[in-house]
Amino acid sequence: MTDKEKYRILCNSELSIPVYSRDWWLDCVCGESSWDVLLCLKNEIIEATMPYYTPCRGVISMPFYTQTMGIWFNPAFEDKRYSHDLFRKQTICEDFIMRLPVHDYFLQNFHYSFTDWLPFYWNGFRQTTRYTYVLPDIGNPDELWNGLSENICRNIRKAKNKYQLTVRRNIPADIFLKINAQVYQRQGIAPYQPEILKKLVDISRSRGQGDIWGAYDAENRLHAGVFVVWQKNCAYYIAGGNNAESRKSGGLALAMWAAINDLSGQVRSFDFEGSMIRGVEHFFREFGARQMPFFSLEKGKMGLLEKIRMKFLKIVKAVQ
Could you tell me the pLDDT band of residue 114, with boundaries at 50, 70 and 90?
A: very high
Within its chain, how far is the Cα of 44 from the centroid?
Answer: 30
Could you tell me the pLDDT band of residue 308, with boundaries at 50, 70 and 90?
A: low
Average pLDDT, the chain: 92
pLDDT, tens digit (0-9, with 9 covering 90-100), for 214-260: 999 999 999 999 999 999 999 999 999 998 777 789 999 999 999 99
Cα separation of 274 and 169, whole Å? 23
Quick one: fold of 137-267?
A: Aminopeptidase (3.40.630)
How wide is the angle at C-alpha 20 spanned by C-alphas 294 and 310, nearest 5°? 90
**Does residue 317 carry a pLDDT above 80?**
no
CB atoms within 10 A of CB 311: 10
Could you tell me the pLDDT band of residue 316, with boundaries at 50, 70 and 90?
A: very low
Instruction: Note the CATH number of domain 3-131+293-319.
Output: 3.40.630
What's the per-residue H, E or C state across 134-171? EECCCCCHHHHHHHCCHHHHHHHHHHHHCCCCEEEECC
pLDDT, tens digit (0-9, with 9 covering 90-100), for 138-179: 999 999 999 999 999 999 999 999 999 999 999 999 999 999
Q: Which residues pair with 293 in a beta bridge?
A: 131
pLDDT at 251: 95
**Does residue 306 carry a pLDDT above 70?**
no
pLDDT at 191: 73
pLDDT at 280: 79
Asked if domains 3-131+293-319 and 137-267 share a fold, the reply is yes
pLDDT at 315: 42
pLDDT, tens digit (0-9, with 9 covering 90-100), for 30-44: 999 999 999 999 999
Cα separation of 130 and 119, whole Å? 19
E strand spans, 57-123: 59-61, 72-73, 105-109
Q: Which of 106-120, 261-275, 306-320 has the lowest mean pLDDT?
A: 306-320
Domain ranges of the chain: 3-131+293-319, 137-267
Cα separation of 301 and 287, whole Å? 38
Q: Which of 108-112, 121-125, 198-202, 246-250 has the lowest mean pLDDT?
A: 246-250
